[in-house]
């Protein structure tokens, strides 16, 4: 439940956002709404940070960089949009990531792009960093995999990241954290590997895959804030396995409520 002070502050901020919308109307670039809202908050004596920046470091390596829109009195995170379409899941994920990084429970998504101001309150409470069952059972699943030593290192990195940082960050953050941890351990990997896409003998073109290639035999897809690992994710992993000519794939979801890891293997007949 929102504290009384936060509730009062939210009403004041939303009131100023509505004034901005009335004055400017929809259809402009986001930055104009940012600037005018910041000006109106300052005129009302409401303390805020405009475009605050921060870095998340792991083993001294920058895993991700953040730039919010507005942080108000250290109690509210505002993410401002000027959209033609509706608010999407990635907008909520972006806001929750900022809430987690700045340790602020209450956030607001505000969209100036419609005929009336759209605002959605988001309360972020990160789940406990419990060592859930998947972390204990995964090493058993990996026993039959090629490059078991490398996979053990990758698995231990996932365990450490989960226990140290918990859930709530976006997928790019966890990719950065895993990259930093693997680099520190000396495990070879390649982010967004490039590959040919072909049909028979005909090459259709080149593409970058949204995954990590681990060593010479595996690949990993890192997801975040998904409800679960879907059948579609496993199908995509099979495509990556085929294009990269590797034998196994790991799908990791730093989900909304728990960590989930699934293994999938090449279906190619030797």
Does residue 206 share a domain with residue 98? no
Does residue 191 share a domain with residue 223? yes
Please say whether the beta carbons of 250 and 263 come within 8 A: yes
Residue 150's pLDDT is 72
The CATH number of whichever domain residue 81 belongs to comes to 3.90.320.10
Residue that finishes a domain, picked among 105, 123, 141:
123
**Full domain range(s) for residue 116:** 4-123
Q: Distance from first CA to last CA of the chain, Å, rounded?
A: 58
Distance CA 178, CA 44 (A): 43
Residue 1's pLDDT is 46
The verdict on residue 72 lying in a domain is yes
| All residues at 6 or more sequence positions from 131 whose CB lies less than 8 Å from its CB, including other chains | 159, 163
Mean pLDDT of 38-67: 97
The verdict on residue 258 lying in a domain is yes
The verdict on residue 37 lying in a domain is yes
The verdict on residue 128 lying in a domain is no
Distance CA 208, CA 192 (A): 5
pLDDT greater than 50 at residue 270? no
Q: What is the pLDDT of residues 81-105, one digit of tens each?
A: 999 999 999 999 999 999 999 999 9
Residue that finishes a domain, picked among 104, 123, 142:
123
Q: What is the pLDDT of residues 98-151, one digit of tens each?
A: 999 999 999 999 999 999 999 999 999 977 766 555 656 554 455 555 566 677
Phi and psi based region of residue 223 (left: phi greater than 0; alpha: psi -120 to 50; beta: remaining): beta
The verdict on residue 270 lying in a domain is no
Mean pLDDT of 147-171: 86
Does residue 213 share a domain with residue 194? yes
Does residue 95 share a domain with residue 11? yes
| DSSP secondary structure letters along 249-267 | EEEEEE-SSSEEEEEEE--
The number of folded domains in the chain is: 2
| DSSP secondary structure letters along 140-200 | HHGGGSSSHHHHHHHHHHHHHHHHHH-S-S-HHHHHHHHHHHHHHHT--EEES-EEEEEET
The verdict on residue 33 lying in a domain is yes
The verdict on residue 169 lying in a domain is yes
Does residue 186 share a domain with residue 149? yes
Residue that finishes a domain, picked among 123, 151, 173:
123
Mean pLDDT of the chain: 90
Does residue 89 share a domain with residue 159? no
Residue 187's pLDDT is 87
pTM: 0.88
Q: What is the pLDDT of residues 201-246, one digit of tens each?
A: 889 999 999 999 998 889 999 999 999 999 999 999 999 999 999 9
Distance CA 106, CA 126 (A): 12
Does residue 119 share a domain with residue 18? yes
User: Distance of alpha carbon 5 from its chain centroid, rounded?
Assistant: 29
pLDDT greater than 50 at residue 57? yes
Q: Identify which has the larger pLDDT, 118 or 265.
A: 118
């Amino acid at each position: 439940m929102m504290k009384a002070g936060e509730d009062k502050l939210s009403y004041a901020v939303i009131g100023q956002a509505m004034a901005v919308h009335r004055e400017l109307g929809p259809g402009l670039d986001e930055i104009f709404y940012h600037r005018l809202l910041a000006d109106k908050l300052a005129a009302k004596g409401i303390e805020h940070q405009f475009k605050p920046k921060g870095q998340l470091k792991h083993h001294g390596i920058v895993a991700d960089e953040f730039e919010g829109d507005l942080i108000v009195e250290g109690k509210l995170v505002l993410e401002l949009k000027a959209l033609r379409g509706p608010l999407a899941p990635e907008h909520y994920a972006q806001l929750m990531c900022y809430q987690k990084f700045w340790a602020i429970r209450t956030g607001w998504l505000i969209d100036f792009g419609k005929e009336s101001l759209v605002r959605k309150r988001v309360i972020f409470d990160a789940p406990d960093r419990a060592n859930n069952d998947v972390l204990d059972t995964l090493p058993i699943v990996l026993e039959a995999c090629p490059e078991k030593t490398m996979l053990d290192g990758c698995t231990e990195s996932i365990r450490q990241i989960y226990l140290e940082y918990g859930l709530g960050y976006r997928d790019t953050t966890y990719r950065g954290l895993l990259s930093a941890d693997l680099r520190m351990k000396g495990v070879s990997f390649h982010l967004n590997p490039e590959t040919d896409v072909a049909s028979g003998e005909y090459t259709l073109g080149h593409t970058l895959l949204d995954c990590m290639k681990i060593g010479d035999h595996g690949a990993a897809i890192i997801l975040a804030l998904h409800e679960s690992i879907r059948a579609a994710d496993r199908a995509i992993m099979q495509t990556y396995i085929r294009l990269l000519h590797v034998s196994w794939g790991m799908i990791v979801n730093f989900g909304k409520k728990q960590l989930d890891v699934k293994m999938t293997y090449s279906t190619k007949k030797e």
